[in-house]
Amino acid sequence: MKFQNEMKDKIQCLYEQYCITNEKESEKKCRAVLNKVAKELEEKLKKGEYIKPGGYKMFCSDRENAEMAYLGAPGKGVKTEDILLEFKHQKAVEANNILTMDNSLTAQKKEIEDVKQRMAEIQMQNKVMAEQMAVTQEMLKMMENHGKKYQFFDKNNGRK
């Protein structure tokens, strides 16, 4: 019985060591796979490519693609879900920052477009007013010329 208990304890100890080693190796493998599949995402983050109107949607799409590639990679082991959850948590913070910037930039872009539209409308109104002014001046000249003809005609009629 004593021998069986010692053997059981040794097997339990070996099993626990094996589990710890397995978890460490799984974590290394998972991080390596995740770094590989998320490399493009990380590069775009560093370059600031998501800091623009529509950047949040692009970031979410790239993040989802990285997650799908990670899940599709074989041989990750027991830490697959833990590492993915950690990744999602990290990227959720970045996603919120990108969303805030995206909303701000989108609002600024809309405001700029509204100002440009108002400026175009004002320019069009100015053009129409200038054309109307030219037509009015032309009409005044024609009326003055016409009036002089009438005056000349009246003077001639009056002399007769």
Mean pLDDT for the chain overall: 90
As a whole number, mean pLDDT of residues 5-28 equals: 93
In this prediction, residue 47 has a pLDDT band, given cuts at 50, 70 and 90, of very high
Q: Does residue 18 surpass a pLDDT of 50? A: yes
Distance between CA atoms of residues 21 and 27, nearest Å: 10
Q: Which residue blocks in the chain are alpha helix, DSSP H?
A: 2-37, 39-47, 55-72, 80-159
User: In the CATH scheme, what is the code of domain 2-119?
Assistant: 1.20.1000.10
Q: Parse the chain into domains and list their residue ranges.
A: 2-119
How many Cβ atoms from other residues are within 10 Å of residue 137's Cβ? Answer: 10
Residue 75 has a pLDDT of 93
Place of tokens 């000349």: 152
Place of tokens 């809309």: 110
CA dist list (Å): 33 to 85, 102, 138, 158: 14, 29, 79, 108
**129 or 152, greater pLDDT:** 129
What confidence tens digit (pLDDT) does each residue in 94-136 have?
999 999 999 988 888 888 898 999 999 999 999 999 999 999 9
Residue 134 has a pLDDT of 92
Residue 148 has a pLDDT of 65
Residue 160 has a pLDDT of 43
What predicted TM-score, i.e. pTM, was given to this entire model?
A: 0.67
Dig out the tokens for 134 from the structure.
Answer: 């030219």
